[in-house]
């Protein structure tokens, strides 16, 4: 089966750039303002080697060189018949008053307005594009849509189930700072710390003895379960917002014991539910003595400092 081909056209200012950018984020090949004489060459191109063909989106409009709606319709029909291609067409429409507002807001000149008001160019373009609007097999009216809403509709219609965000679970130590790319941060410093057990201190959260020590903390099971529930609740919403990358960061003091074990557990829990997270331990290679100072009380009003 050949990869999908979609022609994106419509009123200038109606959101063509937003649609093409969203499709590109979904893994489509995107070509905007392709000259019509090159249309057959692009549609006939084959991927190199064993590379799988990717969906292709072509942006066409009144700013395209040699643009003529009648020629577009005829050329696409000819290529569909001669090469057996299924070529869809998405037309983006928008009310004239809203288009005028957008042009006024961005201070851009309408491509068909010349030295006249934007409303004149919008009227000319609407008349010119009427055959394409009637011919297109899908239409989106963006009059009441923000760019965010339009991108959401595109993802919903064209993602094909392959737009799952890249999911990462990261353990870290607060002593070395918060990860910059974290979307969700959970602090494990309320759990008892294996650092204070001499036999466990050299180990890490990957060691069964350390993991068992952390897991028997009375607060452990309920806390981790609630974190898992929150992550499960938020992931579909992040996906709906169009996030391409989601990082769940789990922290403890040094990033070697508690956070490592909990990150591994959450990663396994996500995999059991069909996700494919990458689990990374940012500070695991750091030696315990490299951590910033730990402080624990030893008596009323006194502290000792331990590396």
Confidence at residue 23, expressed as pLDDT on a 0 to 100 scale:
92
Residues 227, 118 within the same domain:
no
Q: Are residues 100 and 245 in the same domain?
A: no
pLDDT at 67: 86
What gap in Å lies between CA 177 and CA 283, rounded to an integer? 10
Domain co-membership, 275 together with 236:
yes
CA-to-CA distance for 236 and 273, rounded, in angstroms?
13
Residue 245, classified by CB atoms within 10 Å of its CB into exposed (0-12), middle (13-18) or buried (19+), is exposed
Examine the domain organization and report whether 215 and 143 are in the same domain.
Answer: no
**What pLDDT was estimated at residue 170?**
92
Last residue of a domain, one of 158, 179, 211: 158
Same domain, 196 and 90: no
Report the pLDDT value the prediction gives residue 294, as an integer from 0 to 100.
39
Question: Residues 220-230, buried b or exposed e (16+ Cβ, 10 A)?
Answer: beebbeebeee
Classify the C-alpha dihedral 24-180-268-233 as positive or negative.
negative
Domain with 251 in it:
166-306
Band (31; pLDDT cuts 50, 70, 90): very high
Burial of 106-115, coded b for 16+ CB within 10 Å and e otherwise, reads eeeebebbee
Residue 102, domain CATH: 3.40.50.300
Query: What share of the chain has pLDDT > 90, as a percent?
Result: 48
For residue range 201-245, what is the model confidence (pLDDT) as tens digits?
A: 999 999 999 999 999 999 999 999 999 999 999 998 888 777 777
Q: Which residues contact 2 (CB under 8 A, 6 or more apart)?
A: 53, 85, 86
Let me know whether 148 and 170 are in one domain: no
Say whether both 146 and 176 belong to one domain.
Answer: no
- Domain shared by 122 and 170, yes or no: no
Q: Is 156 exposed, middle or buried (0-12, 13-18, 19+ CB in 10 A)?
A: exposed
Q: Where are the beta strands (DSSP E) in the chain?
A: 5-10, 29-32, 56-59, 87-93, 138-141, 166-173, 184-187, 245-252, 278-281, 294-299, 302-306
Q: Domain ends where: 106, 125, 158?
A: 158
**Is 37 in the same domain as 137?**
yes
Number of domains in the chain: 2
Same domain, 14 and 85: yes
Whether residue 273 sits in one domain with residue 246:
yes
Residue 99: how many CA atoms within 13 Å on its side-chain side?
A: 27
CA–CA distance, 39 with 45 (Å, rounded to integer):
10
| Residues 81 and 180 occupy one common structural domain | no
Given 124, 158, 192, the domain boundary residue is: 158
Q: Is pLDDT of 93 > 80?
A: yes
The mean of the pLDDT values for the chain is 84
pLDDT at 274 (0 to 100): 84
Whether the CA torsion 109, 35, 93, 164 is positive or negative: it is: negative
């Amino acid at each position: 089966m050949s990869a999908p081909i979609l022609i994106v056209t419509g009123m200038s200012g109606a959101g063509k750039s937003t649609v093409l950018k969203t499709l590109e984020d979904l893994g489509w090949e995107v070509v905007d303002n392709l000259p019509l004489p090159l249309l057959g060459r692009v549609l006939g191109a084959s991927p190199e080697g064993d590379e799988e063909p990717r969906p292709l989106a072509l942006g066409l409009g009144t700013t395209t060189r040699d643009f003529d709606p009648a020629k577009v319709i005829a050329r696409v029909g000819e290529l569909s018949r001669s090469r057996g291609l299924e070529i869809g067409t998405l037309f983006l429409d928008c009310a004239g008053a809203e288009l005028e507002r957008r042009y006024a807001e961005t201070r851009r000149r309408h491509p068909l307005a010349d030295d006249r008001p934007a409303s004149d160019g919008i009227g000319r373009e609407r008349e010119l594009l009427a055959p394409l609007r009637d011919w297109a097999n899908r239409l989106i009216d963006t009059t009441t849509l923000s760019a965010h809403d339009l991108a959401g509709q595109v993802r919903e219609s064209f993602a094909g189930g392959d737009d799952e965000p890249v999911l990462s679970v990261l353990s870290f130590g607060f002593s070395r700072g918060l990860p910059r790319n974290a979307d969700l941060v959970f602090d494990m410093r309320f759990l008892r710390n294996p650092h204070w057990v001499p036999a466990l201190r050299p180990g890490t959260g990957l060691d069964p003895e350390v993991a068992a020590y952390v897991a028997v903390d009375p607060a452990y099971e309920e806390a981790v379960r609630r974190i898992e529930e929150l992550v499960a609740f938020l992931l579909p919403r992040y996906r709906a917002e169009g996030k391409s990358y989601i990082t769940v960061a789990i922290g403890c003091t040094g990033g070697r014991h508690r956070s490592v074990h909990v990150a591994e557990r959450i990663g396994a829990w996500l995999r059991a539910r069909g996700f494919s997270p990458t689990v990374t331990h940012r500070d695991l290679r750091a030696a315990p003595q490299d951590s910033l100072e730990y402080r624990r009380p030893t008596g009323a009003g006194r502290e000792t400092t331990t590396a």
